[in-house]
Amino acid sequence: MVFISFVTCTNGYRNLKYKLKMTKESKISILVATDIHLGFEERSLIRGDDSFKTFEEVLSIAQKKKVDFILLGGDLFHDNKPSRSTVYRCMELIRKYCFCDHQVKFQLLSNGEVDFYHSAFKHANFQDSHLKVGIPIFTIYGNHDDIAGNGLCAVDCLHACGLVNLFGKHEGIEELNVVPLIVKKGSTKLALYGFGNVRDERLHRMFSKGKVTFPSEDAESCFNLFVIHQNRAQHSLTNYIPITFIPEMMDLVIWGHEHKPLPDPEWHEKFYVMQPGSTVATSLSDGEAGPKYCYLLHIAGKEFRSEKIELTTNRLFHFEDITLENTGIPPDSADLEKKVEKYCVQHVESLLKKCKLTLEEEMDRPLLPLIRLRLHVNHEFKKFSVKQFGKQFVDRVANPMDLLIFVTKRDSVPMLTAVDKKLLSAAVRKTSQEACERIEAVVIM
């Protein structure tokens, strides 16, 4: 299933009916995906193949669409030390779909000594005469890829083998200089910025102090694309990266790490932000439910067009919030717990019927869906056994033992004294920053 958004970056104007004028000689076509998480639940007999099947679908789409290259936004692997089986299957899939007769029609103009300083091979894999690369993969590393103490992660091994092009590696912990890869095709010039995951609090402080720099490579004539793998949602004062930190010269930002897909590019005053989301659900949360996507990105000059493609091999996942009020069961009724449990059973049965209808039309999906009911109760509710509840759905859902969770409502406690939130935030921020600086000083020593 393909959805198309037509977007022009000039003056922030957007028109869905706008038709991008481009020629094959000057159009750069990119397949974008993030958070593949290869090897997730690999020991599970039910879910062990999920991440690999979806990654294969992503690669097959790239091959069918004859894209110029694939751009991954981090977390190719789920573990920083993936199993031998996971690495083998990853290498096998990349060779199967990316090593082909497809002719690479773009040039990489930037300095390989800078782009790939971390490797003995100072060039992209498609520039190596010993390799037959038809669809290059460019990727940054994410927090799950996680560079170890020797400065290497599993993606480094893929880079050394000539399977992917790892860019955006960095060594300094006090400052960060983000030098772009320069891609040219016909009259279109793309400046591809990106860096691997950094601890959010540290990166937040570096941005705040002006220690993150983006050398401009003729920003007016280049399409400036930035790939990032950090927290976008704010969880505390500094463990996220505000949109305002992103340089205004960017035309498009591709945001990895956040697993919830946002269907269309969003306009943020000076540039667009695309949040593809993960290709596989790694947690049974609301943000992971629903369709998963990869994206086709077409760039010509300073304009772009995006097409979201719904993946058809990922496992169906339904997430439902249930409150006692919504069940229609009187809270003072006899056998309340049994009636609520019966209601939940009926609700799961209803979801399974919906899944069955979907699976009849979409045959490539795994047969057993993921279902999560989040039941909101008060502290007086006597909880029934979650495991006993799940046993009713063994061989019918992929996650019977954690199909249902309870969330107990807390009684609100009135504030007895007024708190100046600005002063409190400033105090916490200062204390947190001082603590981080002391820790990093010890690490450097």
* Sign of the alpha-carbon dihedral angle for 96, 100, 105, 111: positive
Judge whether 185 and 105 are in contact, CB under 8 Å.
yes
> Which of 234-253 are b and which e, b meaning 16 or more Cβ less than 10 Å from the residue's Cβ?
eeeebbbbeeeebbebbbbb
In the residue annotation, 144 being an active-site residue is answered as yes
Judge whether 317 and 281 are in contact, CB under 8 Å.
yes
> Which of 57-66 are b and which e, b meaning 16 or more Cβ less than 10 Å from the residue's Cβ?
bbbebbbeee
Judge whether 118 and 173 are in contact, CB under 8 Å.
no
The SS3 assignment for 421 reads helix
The DSSP code sequence of 1-43 is -EEEEEEE-GGG-B-TTPPPP--TTT-EEEEEE----BTTTTT
Catalytic residue of the set 37, 78, 144, 159: 144
Q: What is the DSSP letter of 307?
A: E
The CA-CA-CA angle for residues 228, 230, 232, to 5°, reads 105
Q: Which residues are catalytic?
A: 144
